[in-house]
Amino acid sequence: MGGGRRPTIKTVAARAGVGRTTVSRVVNGSELVSDRAREAVLAAIAELGDVPNSVARGLVTSRTDAVALVIPESESRLGSEPYFSAVIRGVSGGLAATRTQLQLVLVRDKGELDQLTRAVAARRVDGVLLVSVHEDDPLPGLLEGLGLPTVLAGRRSPHETLSHVHSDNVGGAAAAVRHLLERGRRTVATVAGPQDMDVGRARLRGWRDALAAGPRDAERLVAAADFTEDGGRAAMRALLARAGDLDAVLVASDVMAAGALLELRRQGRRVPDDVAVVGFDDSILARHTDPPLTSVRQPVEEIGETITRVLLDEIADPALPRRQLTLPTELVVRSSS
């Protein structure tokens, strides 16, 4: 669209190669439209993204009694990360007393993103719950443009415009570092999460806040990776290579911490004697590492329940103001620190 102007119904019609009356019939659910014309209009809406308010209203007029839980990750990440299963349990619990059905959708590539967009434009769900949000993810803006109620577990940035629920990531990370300092640790490093995610940046910010009067060369004590065991192991290896004097490490997730523990053991570092380790999430994994992992507990199931409640409220009344909720964290101390 030249000049960045918002598309109109006329623009949608032109992109689809149909008349404006056909567009109106599609968004109002009329049966007086051929399947071919309907698909063309829905495809045009998906391509244009930020559609007119009149179109957006039409797209959400009918109720399907179904919501989508969208996770833009692979099956392997979904299966290996306890966070996702806890969110799913929370969402299921939030829907238990309703007639609303839950659709779990993985978005791994552009093809699946386009498929989801068409499903949303075709009014196959009443709203979307979106988990694992990256800063440059086009999906939240696309859903917002389509006028569909959307609630995020997490957020793209502190300036998030959509309703969202997240943990006190900054405070939780800072509390973990203070715990390590109180235990007499002098050189506290961190394995940070992905820096294209607000959760990764927030936990790193908490580490920095707690070390405000720390060493001038603190950046040598930071290694970022994705939220995987392999990522945690590689980041721990990089930290030991350039900061061999470290005696503690805050790791941005329990899964990453499991990898960090493996690397510390491989390099002959005893935990917690030589290096104390603190994870984040307090997932079931934290109780089964060797040694059991001190971790920052975040209420993941409660996040799932809360985003579901907020979404159901917005479906019932789209005029409700958007909500931004932060849930508290708690440090759970075990043998690793």
Q: Which pLDDT band holds residue 329 (cuts at 50, 70, 90)?
A: very high
**What pLDDT is attached to residue 3?**
46
Q: Looking at this protein, which amino acid is placed at residue 195? A: Q
The DSSP element (H or E) to which 325 belongs, if any, is: strand 324-327
What percent of the chain shows pLDDT beyond 70? 90
pLDDT in tens, 244-259: 999 999 999 999 999 9
- pLDDT score of 238 more than 90: yes
pLDDT in tens, 155-191: 999 999 999 999 999 999 999 999 999 999 999 999 9
Q: Contact at 8 Å (CB) between 233 and 259? A: yes
**What pLDDT is attached to residue 68?**
93
The CATH architecture one would assign to domain 2-59 is Orthogonal Bundle (1.10)
| Domain locations in the chain as residue ranges | 2-59, 66-167+301-328, 169-297
Spatial separation of the C-alpha atoms in residues 227 and 100, rounded to whole Å: 31
Q: Which CATH number fits domain 169-297: 3.30.70.1350, 3.40.50.170, 3.40.50.2300, 3.40.50.300?
A: 3.40.50.2300
Gyration radius from the chain CA atoms:
23
Residue-averaged pLDDT of the chain: 88
CB within 8 Å of 6: residues ≥ 6 apart: 50, 52
What percent of the chain shows pLDDT beyond 90? 61
**What pLDDT is attached to residue 43?**
78
**What pLDDT is attached to residue 199?**
97
169-297 has the same fold as 66-167+301-328 = yes
- Minimum mean pLDDT range among 126-130, 131-135, 144-148, 187-191: 144-148
CATH fold label, 66-167+301-328: Rossmann fold (3.40.50)
| Cβ atoms < 10 Å from Cβ of 172 | 24
- pLDDT score of 125 more than 80: yes
Spatial separation of the C-alpha atoms in residues 278 and 281, rounded to whole Å: 10
CB within 8 Å of 180: residues ≥ 6 apart: 188, 248, 250, 276, 278, 337
- Phi and psi torsions of 138, nearest 5°: -75, -15
Tell me the mean pLDDT in the region 271-292: 97
